[in-house]
Amino acid sequence: MADEIDLLRAADPVPADGAHFGDGPLDHTAERQLNRLLHDSRSGRRTWSRPRLLWAVTAAAVVTATVLTVLLGGPSGTPAVAAPRPLTVRAHSVAVSLDQVAQLAAVAATDGSPVLRQGTHVQSWSLAMSDDKPPVTLPEERVVRWRADDTHTEVVVATDPDHTGRPVLTDTGRVEDGHVLSRQTFPPMWGDAPPLSTPPNDPAHLRAYLTDLIHTGTGSLTTSQLLDATEELLDNWTLGARESAALAELLADAKGLRPAGQVTDRLGRTGQAYVLDEGTGGRRMLILDPATGTVLGLETTFTRDDPEYGVRAGDVMEYRAWMR
């Protein structure tokens, strides 16, 4: 019970200052967090979205990744979908510094196109681990679209771009690639706090916005927290050119992100990889379009074995790819 209480407190799906506290509906982020807690408590399977959560070294981290609890499929107990292989940096490719990316992004943003849009389109792979079952991965695609009347829809589809057409695991068993897991329409929602409030397009105000987004108080964001906040931001908004340029400037000022070279992401897009070794058993790879500063993806991999959960160094813990 203590684990569930800790998770609920960290997720905080209905904060006291929320726009609908008391009598309104939950937004899609809060509802997904509650679903995650309920599924975890029924199945005993643990789903972690950060290495530091797995190693339990940062109690204040906010649970932002949402994963459906998954079961093993078939009589043999072999999962229908294997964890994806980690992305590989292209050998001998030229590494572009984050300072260069920030400069290029600022130039690309001068005409203000494309523009900021509320909503997101993201594909994700997240590892679910259990004390008594092998780890399995559920790949899914989520599309959130907002309307002018402040209502929005969310569609979640089981999808595996690495193995198109193969079965995908869900909490009810196997489904076909492309199967709609959920389709929801939400009533009008608005607020003056992140993530409902509009993200600013200058670095100083964007940093404050991201700090509020992950509730870290007034202190400076660590690089790991900045990546957490970036992920949460992109799960709610599709950034325009000016917002991407502001974010690129923040990333250029961050400590510990080292340029690694060119990489092709899981959607076939070419980008530049920047790696952060967190020192907690995990490594995070940020993928940017070097010409615009647009964040294409974020991958987390294990850097050491953990026999208790059946994972090895190099296994992908989580991957997210954002699209327009």
Q: Compute the average pLDDT of residues 287-311.
A: 91
The answer, yes or no, to whether residue 73 has pLDDT greater than 70, is no
What pLDDT is recorded for position 38? 46
* Nearest residue to 251 via CA among 207, 298, 300: 207
Domain ranges of the chain: 2-323
Query: Which of the given ranges, 30-39, 122-131, 170-179, has the highest pLDDT on average?
Result: 122-131
What pLDDT is recorded for position 172? 57
Q: Compute the average pLDDT of residues 3-23.
A: 51
pLDDT tens-digit map of 169-198: 655 567 777 888 899 999 999 999 999 999
> 């409030």: which residue's tokens?
197
Q: Compute the average pLDDT of residues 46-61.
A: 32
The answer, yes or no, to whether residue 236 has pLDDT greater than 60, is yes
The mean pLDDT of the chain is 77
Q: Compute the average pLDDT of residues 255-267.
A: 95
Which residue would you say has higher pLDDT here, 289 or 8? 289
The answer, yes or no, to whether residue 57 has pLDDT greater than 50, is no
Q: What is the pTM assigned to this prediction?
A: 0.74
